[in-house]
């Protein structure tokens, strides 16, 4: 949708100065989809990006479409800052989702599917194209492995319409009794345990739903199958909660998970060719509008592409990357002779940048060594999302069993991870860990770990403050930052933070840490105003902000004021951005770019020029209203000059990217950056990998020279 023209007398809150949040998110997912279409991306990685795009879109429909329908159902008509009301937004979102899902199917059918078959002999075959020998093999697989798990469900006065689980793929059948001439509807859920049926010798596969459809007559013997059509449902995940009135937060979250399972259906996807009477029957039974029906060509479910991409040949994936161990944590190149991590941190702040640098050898090691160290008396940590087989959880359990004081805030309201987090909380509690579940009305998104250690006659604190989750799995694909520090003032702040999180201490004071919702908004505003004052006085003022999303209208208006005053502003925003750059009088000094590549850009870096005395923060918060007002977030001012220099270089690489970066135009269009005719190609993430390799070579050369 083309943005409105900006009136000459527009004020900073005029709707024409804001992009729509939901449509901006869809723009981001188009950039992800581009990775699946980009010839420069290895073929199997393109397939993986196709699966990522579909998964992103499914979650978007669950949350945003469900949320808009809930708002409309409540009678809300108030427009968003861009001037669109809920009904207009829902119409535009439906159109955008439909267009994107159709494009996904085209990329698969017209590009990736034939390329995989031709170049890698990885063929996803249609059942109708199989020869007799292959069909017989598939028949045996159906009889042995698929038929026993299928449950055909009839619909008639004695059999109510069945429950359809969220994102489940199903076969809708219209049956006829050959003698009575009566017609009946039936549903068969497609099993998820077996996504593909592999053919002998060739290694080719057939989608399991095609196999079930072909042999469906074995499920309904004595009946004539008139039609058998695939469909998939998406349920609302935007379930309202009121923590203020909850007597038991865990019970409330458990009930919410159950409610989400049975929440209203917000989307019905069907394949072309489904008879109209079957479509209408499903729409009625699911209580949907016609606009909630999406006809999708090709595969209705693409998550199985992860399996194909993972099992394909290495040469058609990204070059394997072994994260580097920071040189300060290596002694003489021997891992068994590694230095004491606490001594390293005492010697100076240590920044780690994942996945370029190892999570397991830094952050995970920090917690594991703390758990094993007899001098450590306490460990406190926030957990938002963690790995399925978390060694950090195991270390915390060992620490508690060893008699250390261990306190963990487990955020049980982390969307789609509630059940896992409640399970981890139970494991920790059984080991004697003091577990809390967050603050009423606030989601704890901060990434903080605190270790308290007895050293002689004194108590010393060690902290990790980061931008990403304590998750060894996502640390391999998410680009995140963290700083390990023994600075006493940070330790005191972390102690106060955990007192706030686990007890009743809302008015804690902080020397260094910037904590939301207490003071983050005010701190950002003060820094923006400082840059304005520098520029107005003829001094140097500039801002470089790297984050995941920007949607807060007050922050956007503050940025407009800074731009109007002459402050040069670079925003590196991976995802949603409501700010409209390049508008004379408002944002002509603001440049917005987004980087989408091999790794998910997840770190947050905030650089304030401050007339040549830069102030730099890293932390967990984006400039979204939820982060500023409704979450506990922590940002850390970076005092170490070496780390500030590294961060400045990181930002410089990101701003020079002309391979994977997209620039946001005033029209709302994202344009892929390209090098000038006389310029060399610069890929930010590749450059970061090279920088880490260079540091690794220096360490290896130093070790070789000394031996």
Say if residue 338's pLDDT is above 50.
yes
b/e sequence 160-186, b meaning 16+ C-beta within 10 Å: eebebebbbbbbbbbbeeeeeeeebbb
Structure tokens at 90: 């829902």
Say if residue 705's pLDDT is above 90.
no
Pairing of strands 568-573, 605-608: unpaired
d(CA 474, CA 600): 9
Q: What is the pLDDT of residues 420-454, one digit of tens each?
A: 878 888 999 999 999 998 888 899 999 999 999 99
Residue 14 is a catalytic residue: no
CA 115 to chain centre: 28
Percent of the chain with pLDDT strictly greater than 90 = 82
Q: What is the pLDDT of residues 461-494, one digit of tens each?
A: 999 999 999 999 999 999 999 999 999 999 999 9
Q: Do you know the residue count of the chain?
A: 707
- Band the pLDDT of 246: cuts 50, 70, 90: very low
> What's the whole-number mean pLDDT along residues 15-25?
97
Structure tokens at 216: 């469906």
d(CA 155, CA 87): 34
Q: Which of 188-192, 229-233, 250-254, 371-375 has the lowest mean pLDDT?
A: 250-254
Say if residue 273's pLDDT is above 80.
yes
The HSE-up count of residue 58 (CA atoms within 13 Å, CB side) is 20
- Band the pLDDT of 197: cuts 50, 70, 90: very high
Mean pLDDT, all residues of the chain: 93
Q: Where are the beta strands (DSSP E) in 71-177?
A: 153-155, 169-176
- Band the pLDDT of 703: cuts 50, 70, 90: very low
Give residue 253's pLDDT: 66
Give residue 437's pLDDT: 87
The HSE-up count of residue 322 (CA atoms within 13 Å, CB side) is 2
* Nearest in space to 622 (alpha carbons), one of 558, 589, 562, 573: 573
> What's the whole-number mean pLDDT along residues 279-301?
96
b/e sequence 45-72, b meaning 16+ C-beta within 10 Å: bbbbbbbbbbebbbebbbbbbbbbbbbe
- Band the pLDDT of 238: cuts 50, 70, 90: confident
d(CA 336, CA 489): 33
Say if residue 416's pLDDT is above 70.
no
d(CA 620, CA 199): 47
Give residue 5's pLDDT: 87
> What's the whole-number mean pLDDT along residues 331-352?
80
Task: Kindly report the backbone phi and psi dihedral angles of residue 433, in degrees, each rounded to the nearest multiple of 5, phi listed first.
Answer: -75, 140
Give residue 332's pLDDT: 44
Say if residue 156's pLDDT is above 90.
no
Structure tokens at 521: 């908004």
d(CA 75, CA 44): 46
- Band the pLDDT of 323: cuts 50, 70, 90: very high
Say if residue 244's pLDDT is above 50.
no
- Could you tell me the domains of the chain? 41-316 (3.30.1840.10), 327-510 (3.30.870.10), 516-705 (3.30.870.10)
Say if residue 568's pLDDT is above 60.
yes
Q: What is the pLDDT of residues 626-662, one digit of tens each?
A: 999 999 999 999 999 999 999 999 999 999 999 999 9
Catalytic residue among 204, 354, 445, 534: 445
Q: Which of 249-253, 346-350, 495-499, 527-531 has the lowest mean pLDDT?
A: 249-253
Give residue 262's pLDDT: 78
> What's the whole-number mean pLDDT along residues 408-415?
81
> What's the whole-number mean pLDDT along residues 597-618?
98
Say if residue 702's pLDDT is above 70.
no
Give residue 704's pLDDT: 47
- Band the pLDDT of 203: cuts 50, 70, 90: confident
């Amino acid at each position: 949708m083309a943005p409105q023209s900006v009136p000459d007398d527009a004020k900073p809150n005029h709707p024409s100065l804001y992009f729509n949040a939901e449509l901006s998110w869809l723009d981001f997912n188009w950039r992800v989809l581009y990775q699946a279409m980009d010839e420069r991306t290895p073929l199997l990685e393109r397939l993986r990006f196709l699966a990522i795009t579909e998964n992103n879109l499914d979650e978007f429909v669950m949350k945003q479409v469900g949320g808009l329908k809930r708002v409309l159902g409540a009678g809300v008509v108030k427009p968003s800052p861009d001037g669109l009301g809920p009904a207009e937004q829902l119409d535009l979102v439906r159109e955008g989702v439909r267009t994107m899902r159709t494009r996904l199917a085209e990329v698969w059918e017209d590009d990736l599917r034939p390329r995989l078959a031709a170049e890698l002999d990885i063929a996803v075959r249609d059942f109708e194209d199989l020869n007799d020998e292959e069909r017989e093999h598939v028949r045996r697989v159906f009889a042995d492995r698929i038929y026993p798990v299928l449950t055909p469900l009839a619909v008639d006065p004695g059999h109510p319409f069945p429950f359809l689980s969220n994102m489940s793929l199903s076969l809708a059948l219209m049956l006829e009794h050959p003698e009575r001439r009566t017609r009946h509807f039936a549903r068969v859920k497609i099993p998820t345990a077996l996504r593909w049926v592999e053919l002998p010798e060739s290694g080719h596969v057939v989608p399991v739903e095609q196999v079930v459809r072909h042999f469906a007559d074995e499920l309904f013997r004595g009946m004539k199958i008139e039609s058998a059509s695939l469909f998939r449902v998406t349920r609302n995940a935007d379930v309202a909660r009121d923590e203020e009135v909850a007597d038991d937060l865990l019970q409330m979250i458990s009930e919410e998970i159950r409610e989400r399972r049975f929440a209203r259906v917000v989307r019905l996807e069907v394949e072309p060719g489904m008879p109209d009477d079957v479509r209408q029957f499903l729409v009625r039974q699911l209580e949907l509008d016609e606009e909630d029906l999406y006809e999708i060509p090709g595969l209705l479910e693409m998550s199985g592409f992860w399996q194909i991409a993972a099992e394909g040949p290495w040469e058609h994936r990204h070059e394997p990357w072994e994260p580097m161990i920071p040189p300060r944590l290596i002694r003489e190149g021997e891992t068994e002779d590694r230095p004491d991590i606490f001594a390293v941190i005492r010697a100076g702040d240590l920044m780690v940048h994942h996945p370029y640098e190892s999570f397991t050898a830094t952050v995970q090691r920090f917690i594991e060594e703390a758990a094993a160290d007899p001098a450590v008396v306490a460990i406190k940590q926030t957990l938002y999302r963690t790995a399925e087989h978390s060694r950090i959880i195991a270390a915390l359990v060992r620490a508690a069993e060893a008699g250390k004081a261990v306190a963990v805030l487990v955020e049980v309201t982390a969307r789609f991870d509630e059940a896992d987090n409640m399970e981890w909380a139970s494991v920790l509690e059984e080991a004697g860990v003091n577990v809390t579940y967050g603050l009423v009305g606030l989601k704890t998104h901060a990434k903080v770990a605190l270790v308290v250690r007895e050293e002689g006659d004194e108590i010393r604190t060690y902290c990790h403050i980061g931008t990403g989750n304590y998750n060894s799995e996502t640390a391999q694909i998410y680009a995140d930052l963290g700083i390990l520090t023994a600075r006493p003032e940070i330790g005191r702040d972390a102690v106060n933070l955990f007192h706030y999180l686990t007890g009743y201490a809302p008015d804690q004071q902080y020397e260094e840490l910037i904590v939301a919702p207490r003071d983050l908004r005010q701190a950002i505003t003060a820094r923006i105003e400082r840059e304005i004052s520098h520029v107005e006085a003829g001094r140097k003022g500039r801002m470089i902000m790297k984050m995941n999303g920007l949607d807060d209208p007050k922050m956007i208006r503050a940025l407009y004021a800074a731009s109007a005053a002459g402050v040069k502003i670079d925003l590196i925003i991976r995802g949603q951005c409501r700010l409209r750059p390049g508008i004379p009088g408002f944002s002509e000094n603001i440049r917005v770019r987004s980087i989408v590549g091999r790794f998910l850009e997840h770190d947050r870096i905030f650089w304030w020029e401050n007339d040549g005395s830069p102030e730099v923060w890293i932390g967990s918060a984006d400039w979204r209203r939820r982060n500023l007002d409704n979450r506990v977030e922590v940002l850390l001012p970076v005092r170490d000059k070496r780390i500030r220099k590294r961060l400045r270089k990181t930002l410089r690489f990101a701003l020079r990217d002309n391979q994977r970066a997209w620039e946001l135009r005033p029209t709302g269009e994202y344009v892929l950056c390209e090098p000038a005719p006389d310029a060399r190609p610069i890929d930010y993430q590749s450059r970061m990998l090279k920088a880490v390799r260079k540091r690794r070579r220096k360490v290896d050369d130093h070790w070789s020279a000394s031996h």
